[in-house]
A and B are shown apart, each in its own frame.
Chain A
Amino acid sequence: MKSRVVDRNSSKSEIAEKECRKKTFKSSPWKNPKLIIGATVLCVLVFCTLIGQFIWDKTLVNVGSSPLNLPPVGFEYRKQIGTWAHPLGTDNSGRDLLTLILVGLPHSLGIGFVAASIGLVIGILFGFSAGYLGGRVDDVIRLLSDTTMNIPALLILIIVQSVIPNADFFVMALLLSLFAWQSPTRVLRAQILSMKHSDYVKLAQLSGASDNEIMFKEIMPNLLPFLIAQLTAGTSYSVLVLVGVEVLGLGSQSKPSLGITLNNAINSSAILRGMWWWWGIPTIILIVVFMSLLLISVGLDEVSNPRLRNQ
């Protein structure tokens, strides 16, 4: 009933889109430079830290295991010259910065990734039910996600931390996942709402396909890029919140992490003392991690949504 004017109008643009689809398929949308750069940087970083776990002495994270206030290689700080034994320098309690990063980065990323995964699973369940079933289910889920979405995660975590001061890996991940399911829920719901009325879903219905079959065989595969994009965006968000909590001095202090390192640096007025490597290097690492995660999710967005691709 939406009048054929629209249809015929679109017929032209669809021909154009089809040609565009043809073109981009030839040069594969997955060859998106943002996606490739982001993924490469992240992989290199993760790979290096994993390798480093084995070849580097992990006991160097302990307090007093190394000389104090040592600058990175090639720099001099208060008559101390950086050595290859501690290439990124040490802090004021004798912890090796490289070891801190090698141990801390996978830990932070891991928590973020697990939190995002839990969020995504909830998002898939909720998003599919809301989009596909509609009606009351949709109303409830939308209400829930819309209201909880605007609660600042950091604030809640600060309060929760005061109750559970030493949250371990999984507790932390679970807590963070409370804030990681709304976005995937909303995105998936919207996608499913539009796909639900697509011609290929109609055709599957005409072919006697069940609801489950339509959801998982027809709709889900086309959502793959969206899912991965949501996962990376969720990871990035969770890591950000986690670091935020740690920088404030909250969170489990038992395991080294980038956020806690930053917190220590701030507490020991590293900036005033000119110990730039102490706070600078972890910051750079975090920026690189966030940038690469952002590039991946933006790249994936472009892969799944051709309209964002510039000609």
Chain B
Amino acid sequence: MTSKVLDVKKLSVAYDTSLKTIQAVKGISFTINQGETLGLIGESGSGKTTTAMAILRLLQKPGRITSGEVILNNSTDLLTLSERELRKVRWTELALVTQGSMNSLNPTMRINKQIADGILAHREKQNRDELEEYIGNLLKMVGLPERVFSQYPHELSGGMKQRVCIAMAASLNPSLLIADEPTSALDVITQRIVAQTLMDIKERLNMSLLVIGHDIGLMAQLADRVAVMIDGVIVETGALQEVLTSPQHLYTQILVDAMPSIKRKKSLTSIDEQTRQKISKSLLKPFEVKEVTQGHWVAITQ
């Protein structure tokens, strides 16, 4: 029996605009087990980032959680916590790395100070030497050379900054790290290095990982299980290999087929906006979720 780190139940998020309310996330449910990496795949506007922000309760103003539960470590429902209790949970239990994280480093502060600030904000006063040693270890863990310790953000490349952010996120040993498009703004080689770092630190600290992204190729490298999201709905969940080799939902099939490869030439299946809209329309009607094989769930839509 594996324990669930995160159990999201029927989570819904809506955005209020002056004209109408838009449902961005429509009652999605998924779980992340201890030590597992779940990949949440979706294209632009699928609601994947909104989901992450809702889990962390960091939704921006017009957005609000309308219903659902987000249970952390089988005990606390994040959605019922007060702002003060939340602050304790964020960072210590739940950490976040986003595409823009590397640009959110304070340009006037040395790296060691920034990480120390993050730690001290949540922990009691610590021995200075111990703290420095701890930060040094963290940086080593994400594969950064020692000199980074006392450097400023502008002296680092994008990939290095992103790894500093991963180190910061991991600094309080959270049980779940949410990585929202962690490598999207990076070059291919840097992307691989950052992805490697993520996998590595996850293993070492025995964390669970929720990776959010649009690139199935990258997901195939990182994830143990994947969930495919479109229009605020999860249409398919299952073990990575199973979803990739025998995708059940039409949309998943399209995504997998449209993924170009450098291994073999294939005729890329093309869909047009009409097909996309047809899929979107089919998701507006209520649908059942069926378990095709063990742990492989598909939305039955028509």
Spell out A's residues near B (CB within 8 Å): 4-5, 8-9, 12, 15, 19, 23, 26-27, 311
- CB <8 Å contact, A9 and B185: yes
- CB <8 Å contact, B181 and A12: yes
Nearest Cβ distance between residue A68 and chain B, in whole angstroms?
55
- CB <8 Å contact, A311 and B185: no
**Smallest CB gap from A4: residue in B:** B187
The answer to whether residues A5 and B62 also contact, given A12-B181, A27-B18 and a CB cut-off of 8 A, is no
**Docked complex: B12-26 residues within 8 A CB-CB of A:** 17-19
- CB <8 Å contact, B99 and A311: no
**Docked complex: B60-94 residues within 8 A CB-CB of A:** 60-62
Nearest Cβ distance between residue A15 and chain B, in whole angstroms?
5
Q: Which of A5, A12, A311 contacts B158 (CB 8 A)?
A: A5
The answer to whether residues A311 and B62 also contact, given A5-B187, A8-B185 and a CB cut-off of 8 A, is yes
- Cα A19 to Cα B60 with chains together (Å): 15
- CB <8 Å contact, B18 and A9: no
Beyond A9-B99, A26-B17, A311-B62, 4 additional contacts (C-beta under 8 Å) are A5-B187, A9-B185, A19-B45, A311-B60
User: Quick check: is B246 within 8 A (CB to CB) of the other chain?
Assistant: no
User: Quick check: is B44 within 8 A (CB to CB) of the other chain?
Assistant: yes
Chain A residues whose C-beta falls within 8 Å of the C-beta of B45 in the assembled complex: 15, 19
Chain B residues whose C-beta falls within 8 Å of the C-beta of A9 in the assembled complex: 99-100, 103, 185
Main secondary structure of the interface of B (DSSP, over half): loop
**Smallest CB gap from B61: residue in A:** A311
**Smallest CB gap from B159: residue in A:** A5
Nearest Cβ distance between residue B183 and chain A, in whole angstroms?
10
- CB <8 Å contact, B186 and A5: yes
Spell out B's residues near A (CB within 8 Å): 17-19, 44-45, 60-62, 99-100, 103, 158, 181, 184-187
Q: Which of A8, A19, A27, A311 contacts B184 (CB 8 A)?
A: A8
Name 28 A/B residue pairs within 8 A (Cβ), A-sorted: A4-B187, A5-B158, A5-B185, A5-B186, A5-B187, A8-B184, A8-B185, A9-B99, A9-B100, A9-B103, A9-B185, A12-B99, A12-B100, A12-B181, A12-B184, A12-B185, A15-B44, A15-B45, A19-B45, A23-B17, A26-B17, A26-B19, A27-B17, A27-B18, A27-B19, A311-B60, A311-B61, A311-B62
Nearest Cβ distance between residue A302 and chain B, in whole angstroms?
15
Chain A residues whose C-beta falls within 8 Å of the C-beta of B158 in the assembled complex: 5
Nearest Cβ distance between residue B59 and chain A, in whole angstroms?
12
**Smallest CB gap from A31: residue in B:** B18
Nearest Cβ distance between residue B287 and chain A, in whole angstroms?
26
Chain A residues whose C-beta falls within 8 Å of the C-beta of B186 in the assembled complex: 5
Chain A residues whose C-beta falls within 8 Å of the C-beta of B184 in the assembled complex: 8, 12
Nearest Cβ distance between residue B66 and chain A, in whole angstroms?
19
Chain B residues whose C-beta falls within 8 Å of the C-beta of A8 in the assembled complex: 184-185
Chain B residues whose C-beta falls within 8 Å of the C-beta of A5 in the assembled complex: 158, 185-187
Chain A residues whose C-beta falls within 8 Å of the C-beta of B99 in the assembled complex: 9, 12
Nearest Cβ distance between residue B163 and chain A, in whole angstroms?
15
**Smallest CB gap from B18: residue in A:** A27
**Smallest CB gap from A310: residue in B:** B61
**Smallest CB gap from A9: residue in B:** B185
Nearest Cβ distance between residue A18 and chain B, in whole angstroms?
9
Chain A residues whose C-beta falls within 8 Å of the C-beta of B18 in the assembled complex: 27
**Smallest CB gap from A13: residue in B:** B100
List of 8 A-B pairs having minimum Cβ-Cβ separation, nearest first: A9-B185, A8-B185, A27-B18, A15-B44, A5-B158, A5-B185, A311-B61, A23-B17
**Smallest CB gap from A10: residue in B:** B185
Chain B residues whose C-beta falls within 8 Å of the C-beta of A19 in the assembled complex: 45
Chain A residues whose C-beta falls within 8 Å of the C-beta of B19 in the assembled complex: 26-27
- Cα A311 to Cα B158 with chains together (Å): 30
Chain B residues whose C-beta falls within 8 Å of the C-beta of A12 in the assembled complex: 99-100, 181, 184-185
Nearest Cβ distance between residue A13 and chain B, in whole angstroms?
8
- Cα A19 to Cα B63 with chains together (Å): 14
**Smallest CB gap from A19: residue in B:** B45
Chain A residues whose C-beta falls within 8 Å of the C-beta of B100 in the assembled complex: 9, 12
- Cα A19 to Cα B24 with chains together (Å): 13
Nearest Cβ distance between residue A4 and chain B, in whole angstroms?
8
- Cα A9 to Cα B17 with chains together (Å): 26
- Cα A19 to Cα B46 with chains together (Å): 13
Chain B residues whose C-beta falls within 8 Å of the C-beta of A23 in the assembled complex: 17
Chain B residues whose C-beta falls within 8 Å of the C-beta of A311 in the assembled complex: 60-62
- Cα A19 to Cα B99 with chains together (Å): 18
- Cα A15 to Cα B184 with chains together (Å): 14
- Cα A118 to Cα B186 with chains together (Å): 50
- Cα A27 to Cα B19 with chains together (Å): 7
Nearest Cβ distance between residue B37 and chain A, in whole angstroms?
22
- Cα A18 to Cα B149 with chains together (Å): 39
- Cα A23 to Cα B22 with chains together (Å): 11
Chain A residues whose C-beta falls within 8 Å of the C-beta of B62 in the assembled complex: 311
**Smallest CB gap from B15: residue in A:** A23
- Cα A4 to Cα B191 with chains together (Å): 14
Most chain B beta-carbon neighbours within 10 Å: one of A12, A19, A311: A12
- Cα A4 to Cα B158 with chains together (Å): 12
Chain B residues whose C-beta falls within 8 Å of the C-beta of A26 in the assembled complex: 17, 19
Nearest Cβ distance between residue A274 and chain B, in whole angstroms?
49
Most chain B beta-carbon neighbours within 10 Å: one of A8, A9, A311: A9
**Smallest CB gap from A7: residue in B:** B185
Nearest Cβ distance between residue A21 and chain B, in whole angstroms?
13
- Cα A12 to Cα B184 with chains together (Å): 9
Nearest Cβ distance between residue A303 and chain B, in whole angstroms?
16
- Cα A5 to Cα B157 with chains together (Å): 11
- Cα A46 to Cα B100 with chains together (Å): 50
- Cα A8 to Cα B183 with chains together (Å): 11
